Each structure stands twice: as C-alpha cells, then as structure tokens.
C-alpha cells in the first residue's frame, strides 16, 4: 500500500519576499504567503488525568471507560453534539456484534449498553437475519444518550471546541490547545488519546500521520420526507439514464435510504458517493458539501418526476460530511488485510469483529467476507457472488485488532483510537465500522487507567492486564491461545 507522508514540504522552500510581516515562500508546486503571528501565552483552562480529542462514540467510550476506573477526563469535540459520524453525519447502522457462526456475541461493552438504552427508548430497529447490519438507530436520539453518559460520568466536555495545536517535550505531549467560544485555551494531562479520525492532535504534536494514496469516498446524508407515500422506487436502469442526464458523477452508487427509527414518515437518505475527495483538505471538504446537496436535490427531483408524486423535501441536512478515511497513524503494527481475512490471533488483541473487507471505489463495491465469499456490487446495480477462498478453507470466528495498531511510533503518552488506527487499505476496509472502532476507544480508555496507575507510558501497558481489565468492564474478548 502506498502512503503519502502528510507533512508540509518544508524542504525545497525558498523565501521570495519578506515585507510588512507577510512572507512569500515557493515550493516545487506552489506559491504561499505566510503571516507571522506574534508569540502568545495561552491560559490553561483545565487539568485532567486524561484528555481525549474527538467525541464520537470512540472518544466518548474511551472517556467513559477511563472515568469508570477513576480518572478525571477532558473530552474535546469540534461539533455541537457528541457521536461523530453516527450523529453528525447520520450514519445510523451498527453491524454484527456476533462471530461468524452468528450465535456467539463477541462485542459487548459500551456498544451493548448503548444498544440497550436505545431499545429502552423505542428508537432502535433490529435487523434479522443479521447479514451485515444488526442495529439501526435514531442518530439525534443517540446524541442525547451520549450527553447523558458523559454527564453521569462527570467528564469535562468541551463542545464546539477544536484542537488546533499541541505542546510536546520529547516523546510526551504536555498539552492540547483548543479554540472554542471562549478563545484559545490549553488542557494539560499526563495522558492523551487522539480519537479525532483526522489525527489532529497527533499531527499538531509532530507525530507521523500518513494519508493513503487512494481514500475511501465521502457521502453527505439528508433526512427526507415523502418516501413513505411512494408505491415503489424507479428501476435502477431507468434511474441511471436519468442520473447521467443530470450530471450525476458516473452514478457510481445508487443513493440508498434507511428508516429513521421512531419517525416512520422520514428516511435517512445516503447521497451518492463522491470519490477522490480528500476530506482533510478544507477546500475539498467545502466543495463536497455543495456537491452533496446539489446531487441530493437532483436525485429527489428525478424520483419525483418518475413517480409523478408530491415533492420529496429534504427536512434536515447532516451536520457534517460523511468521511470514511483521511489519515492513519504510523504505529508499532500495521494491520493487514491478510491478517484480518485469516483471523490472525494477536496476544495483544483489544477488539474483534466480523464486518467484511468493504472497499468502495469508482467501479463499485467489493465485499470480502470471512466465510470465504465475496460480493461485487457494480455501479450498474448488479451484484455477483463467488468464493475468494477454496470451499474447504477454515472460517475464522472473527478477526482481531492488536493494541500495537493504536500505539504511535515514538509516542509515550499518546494513543490513537478509531479510524486513525494503523491499517492497510484492505484491513481498514473491514475494521473501520463503528462496532469495531467503539472497542478501540474502550481499549484506549482502559489502557490510560492502567498507565496512570503504574505511572508508566502507553507502550509499557501489559497486554494481558489490559485485556483482563477490558473484560472485567464488559468487553467480550476471546481467550488467546498464547495467554
């Protein structure tokens, strides 16, 4: 796999001008102006045992597991609500929590606690038989459950707060610097977790974040009314012709829609996948939001015309673009596709899952399952299924994510959790889903408690102790033969 180091190309720069505080520099492919800000002292607004950047379920679960073990925790989230992609981008399906036999639970912990909370409120839809997805939920209601969870655990939450810088001494981060409605402030802690997905703390602290040469596509979601009144949707072949006529980008994925549990008149419409978007680039992110909204309207107008029905209005846009991938930390272990597809067992396994390797591209989607089958969903709407393994190949119960894939090289008091973990394209295609990422958050939070107790850094946390503490707190990690 080809990774591109995501650092400003400081080499080969030459200073062209330096006047009135504005510096112009030139590199091989660009001309850039730099403004020199005056040095400033930043007030420390909070001191905690652990500071978590990014408040998706990954970050919240890290914070909660650490708080349950006695740590004082600060949690920083740039959005106005917790939940990350699950709430801000309305990605409202969690996949199977069972092994490949479909009968044994392998994912527990806070994922199941949240499932029970949502079930209790009647805003959870269970999908049976479980193919890939197992639970659909109401994203807006999930955000309130997460509010309740952090408040009852006395976590100091900073919402609408973005981590914009960090201070570091040697291998240790000493503070995360945030900007929020009160200004620019610092949070100090002996331990940090970067659950930002984009690796903002990691990069600001100067650790390596790598950007894959080919990124998984982005989508923009919307809540739409009126679909419940439609007798049926147009055939995909008809739709494709019409989409092409509306400048729809190669119609590489049919927009699909999920129910919104608790609101039967509404649908959660996933817009067309936008390939080739680097969501770590601000201008590309903005352009994708515009394009996502334009394409939603074009699609809804096509369906309306074809079905000769009443308007199908968008009633709410997702708060954030749906981003699958931007960067990966460079860690002690890069998880490979081969390792997950063959269920390689690691002595430091901290998460397990069965979601297939799922890679979206311009040509369509390839889903490679642990049971030896592969599905190819073409952009023309056809699905083919064949075996990628011989018929008699053993089927692993699940795959595993090692702790070392959360442990950035050269960092002593920083872990990454969530989609920032170190995995190649194929492995990431499988492990990136939320039931897996949630577990990486829980593991990071428990590792923080063990590190603090031992006055050690993250690399010194003993894997067997970590795994035992995770299971004591509700995780369902399977015994490893090496233990």
Ligand X SMILES: Cc1cc2nc3c(=O)[nH]c(=O)nc-3n(C[C@H](O)[C@H](O)[C@H](O)COP(=O)(O)OP(=O)(O)OC[C@H]3O[C@@H](n4cnc5c(N)ncnc54)[C@H](O)[C@@H]3O)c2cc1C
Give the binding site for ligand X (CB under 6 A): 53-56, 58, 76-79, 84-85, 89, 91, 93-95, 162-163, 195-198, 200, 219, 270, 322-324, 418-419, 432-434, 437
- Residue 423 CB, shortest distance to ligand X, in Å, is 11
The residue (of 142 and 266) whose beta carbon lies closer to ligand X is 142
The residue (of 345 and 437) whose beta carbon lies closer to ligand X is 437
The residue (of 196 and 405) whose beta carbon lies closer to ligand X is 196
The CA-atom distances, in angstroms, between 421 and each of 209, 214, 412, 477 are: 10, 16, 16, 19
The residue (of 269 and 312) whose beta carbon lies closer to ligand X is 269
The residue (of 53 and 345) whose beta carbon lies closer to ligand X is 53
The residue (of 99 and 200) whose beta carbon lies closer to ligand X is 200
CB count, 10 Å around CB of 153?
Answer: 17
- Residue 190 CB, shortest distance to ligand X, in Å, is 20
The residue (of 78 and 345) whose beta carbon lies closer to ligand X is 78
- Residue 58 CB, shortest distance to ligand X, in Å, is 3
- Residue 56 CB, shortest distance to ligand X, in Å, is 3
- Residue 234 CB, shortest distance to ligand X, in Å, is 22
- Residue 53 CB, shortest distance to ligand X, in Å, is 5
CB count, 10 Å around CB of 248?
Answer: 19
How far is the first Cα of the chain from the last one, in angstroms, to the nearest whole number?
32
The residue (of 125 and 219) whose beta carbon lies closer to ligand X is 219
- Residue 250 CB, shortest distance to ligand X, in Å, is 17
The residue (of 331 and 345) whose beta carbon lies closer to ligand X is 331
- Residue 22 CB, shortest distance to ligand X, in Å, is 26
The residue (of 221 and 475) whose beta carbon lies closer to ligand X is 221
Residue by residue, what is the 3-state secondary structure of the chain?
CCEEECCCCCCCCEEEEEECCEEEEECCCCEEEEECCCCCCCCEEEECCEEEECCEHHHHHHHHHHHHCCCCEEEECCCCCCEHHHCCCCCCEEECCECCCCCCECCCHHHHHHHHHHHHCCCEEECCCCCCEEEEECHHHHHHHHHHHHHHCCCEEECCCEEEEEEEECCEEEEEEEEECCEEEEEECCEEEECCCCCHHHHHCCCCEEEECCCCCEECEEEEECHHHCCCCCCHHHHHHHHHHCCCCCCCCCCEEEECCCCCCEEEEECCCECCCCCCCHHHHHHHHHHHHHHHHHHHHHHHHHHCCCCCCEEEECCCCECCCCCEECECCCECHHHHHCCCCCCCEEEEECCCEEEEECCEEEEECCCCEEEEEECCCCEEEEECCCCCCCCCCCEEEEHHHHCECCCCCEEECHHHCCECHHHHHHHCCHHHHHHHHHHHHHHHHHHHHCCCCHHHCCHHHHHHHHHHCCCCCCCCCCC
39-72 b/e with 16+ CB inside 10 Å = b? Answer: eeeeeebbebbbbbbbbbbbbbbbbbbbbebebb
- Residue 7 CB, shortest distance to ligand X, in Å, is 17
Cβ-closest position to ligand X: 418
- Residue 219 CB, shortest distance to ligand X, in Å, is 4
- Residue 185 CB, shortest distance to ligand X, in Å, is 13
Give the span between the Cα atoms of 71 and 12, in whole angstroms: 46
The residue (of 50 and 345) whose beta carbon lies closer to ligand X is 50
């Amino acid at each position: 796999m080809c990774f591109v180091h995501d650092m400003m190309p400081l080499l080969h720069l030459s200073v062209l001008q330096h006047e009135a505080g504005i510096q112009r520099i030139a590199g091989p492919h660009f001309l850039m102006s730099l403004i020199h800000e005056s040095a400033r002292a930043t007030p420390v607004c909070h001191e905690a045992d652990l500071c978590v950047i990014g408040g998706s379920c990954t970050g919240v679960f890290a914070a909660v597991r650490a708080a349950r073990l006695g740590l004082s925790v600060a949690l920083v989230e740039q959005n106005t609500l917790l939940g990350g992609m699950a709430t801000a981008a309305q990605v409202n399906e969690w996949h199977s929590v069972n092994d490949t036999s479909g009968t044994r639970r392998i994912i527990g912990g806070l994922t199941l606690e949240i499932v029970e909370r949502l079930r209790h409120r009647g805003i959870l839809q269970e999908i049976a038989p479980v193919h890939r997805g197992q639970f659909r939920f109401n994203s807006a209601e999930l955000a309130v459950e997460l509010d309740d969870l952090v408040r009852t655990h006395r976590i100091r939450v900073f919402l609408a707060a973005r981590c914009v810088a960090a201070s570091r001494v040697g291998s240790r981060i000493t503070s995360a610097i945030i900007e929020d409605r009160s200004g620019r402030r610092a949070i100090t802690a002996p331990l940090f977790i970067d659950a930002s997905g984009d690796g903002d703390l990691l990069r600001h602290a100067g650790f390596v974040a790598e950007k894959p040469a080919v990124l998984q596509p982005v989508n923009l979601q919307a809540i739409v009314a009126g679909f419940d009144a439609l007798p049926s949707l147009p055939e995909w072949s008809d739709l494709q012709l019409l989409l092409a006529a509306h400048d729809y980008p190669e119609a590489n994925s049919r927009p699909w829609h999920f129910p919104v549990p608790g609101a039967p008149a509404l649908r959660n419409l996933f817009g067309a996948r936008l390939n080739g978007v680097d969501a770590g680039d601000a201008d590309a992110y903005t352009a994708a939001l515009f394009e996502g909204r334009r394409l939603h309207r074009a699609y809804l107008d096509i369906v309306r015309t074809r079905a000769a029905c009443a308007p199908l209005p968008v009633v709410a846009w997702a708060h954030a673009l749906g981003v699958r991938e931007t960067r990966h930390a460079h860690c002690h272990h890069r998880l490979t596709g081969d390792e997950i597809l063959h269920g390689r067992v690691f002595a430091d396994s901290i998460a397990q899952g069965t979601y297939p390797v799922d890679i979206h591209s311009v040509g369509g989607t390839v889903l490679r399952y642990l049971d030896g089958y592969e599905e190819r969903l073409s952009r023309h709407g056809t699905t083919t299924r064949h075996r990628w393994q011989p018929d008699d190949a053993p089927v692993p119960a699940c795959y595993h994510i090692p702790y070392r894939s959360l442990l950035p090289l050269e960092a002593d008091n920083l872990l990454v959790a969530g989609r920032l973990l170190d995995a190649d394209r194929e492995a990431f295609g499988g492990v990136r889903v939320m039931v897996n990422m949630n577990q990486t958050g829980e593991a990071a939070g428990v590792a923080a408690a063990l590190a603090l107790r031992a006055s050690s850094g993250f690399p010194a946390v003993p894997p067997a102790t970590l795994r035992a503490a995770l299971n004591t707190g509700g995780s369902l990690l399977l015994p490893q033969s090496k233990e």
